[in-house]
């Protein structure tokens, strides 16, 4: 189902894949995702949630690709990548972060959304409410157990997991969110109902399920 592209995108941001080891880690987590349940949640949002539909169309557009290109080429983004590399996470394991998002518009264009939906069916929910429902559907205990095992095993996943929780990384993240250089990018995302702060908070909430 094309719904899985959206889930894959979000999961890829949380569990960055690159080399074979991390790609397998990613697949292990993705295998725990109740795809049918999340597909149902996604379908309901696509049909009845106006803000979510607006977000989805934006993610399909060239405007999103241009905005993402600006973010990924910014010094603030490069500083985040450099910090993670300093924690001995391999460069190859980081490079797919950009490529996953680069491919997103083309992947999502294959999914057709009905042009019109009856007004009485519209609901004012958005990407954040969708992700909240997704989080509630995830098998938290199994995610926690898998994260704990992979951290114990070491490797790029363990180093990445620890790196993004460091005070220095969070300071760089706050710097990027407050950067005047990127305010227009954050504003454009917000105008399309993509609340970066809320999504980051949810990412850290999932990370907190681990050890």
**DSSP of 136-204:** HHS-HHHHHHHHHHHHHH-HHHHHHHHHTTSHHHHHHHHHHHH-GGGHHHHHHHHHTT--HHHHHHHHH
pLDDT, position 183: 93
Single pTM value for the model: 0.74
pLDDT, position 123: 47
Mean pLDDT of successive 10-residue stretches along the chain, which has 211 residues: 42 46 77 82 73 82 88 89 84 60 54 47 60 88 94 88 92 92 93 88 91 90
pLDDT, position 91: 67
* Alpha carbons 98 and 116: distance in angstroms, whole number: 33
Which burial class, exposed, middle or buried, applies to 121 when counting CB atoms under 10 A from its CB (0-12, 13-18, 19+)? exposed
pLDDT, position 165: 93
Residue 39 has phi, psi (to 5 degrees) of -60, -40
What sign does the dihedral 29-206-137-48 (CA atoms) show?
A: negative
pLDDT, position 126: 59
* Alpha carbons 44 and 74: distance in angstroms, whole number: 36
pLDDT, position 50: 77
């Amino acid at each position: 189902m094309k719904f899985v592209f959206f889930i894959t995108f979000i999961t890829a941001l949380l569990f960055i894949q690159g080399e074979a080891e991390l790609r397998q880690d990613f697949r292990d987590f993705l295998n725990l995702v109740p795809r049918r349940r999340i597909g149902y949640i996604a379908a309901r949002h696509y049909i009845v949630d106006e803000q979510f539909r607006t977000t989805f169309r934006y993610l399909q557009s060239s405007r999103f690709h241009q905005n993402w290109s600006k973010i990924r080429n910014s010094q603030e983004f490069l500083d985040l990548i450099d910090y993670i590399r300093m924690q001995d996470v391999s460069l190859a394991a980081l490079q797919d972060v950009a490529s996953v998002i680069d491919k997103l518009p083309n992947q999502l264009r294959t999914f057709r959304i009905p042009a019109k939906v009856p007004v009485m069916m519209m609901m004012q929910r958005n990407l954040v409410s969708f992700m909240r429902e997704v989080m509630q559907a995830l098998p938290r205990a199994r995610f926690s157990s898998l994260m704990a095992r992979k951290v114990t095993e070491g490797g790029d996943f363990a180093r990445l997991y620890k790196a993004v929780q460091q005070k220095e990384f969070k300071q760089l993240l706050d710097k990027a969110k407050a950067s005047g250089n990127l305010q227009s990018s954050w504003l454009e995302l917000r105008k399309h109902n993509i609340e970066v702060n809320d999504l980051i908070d949810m990412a850290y909430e999932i990370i907190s399920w681990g050890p």
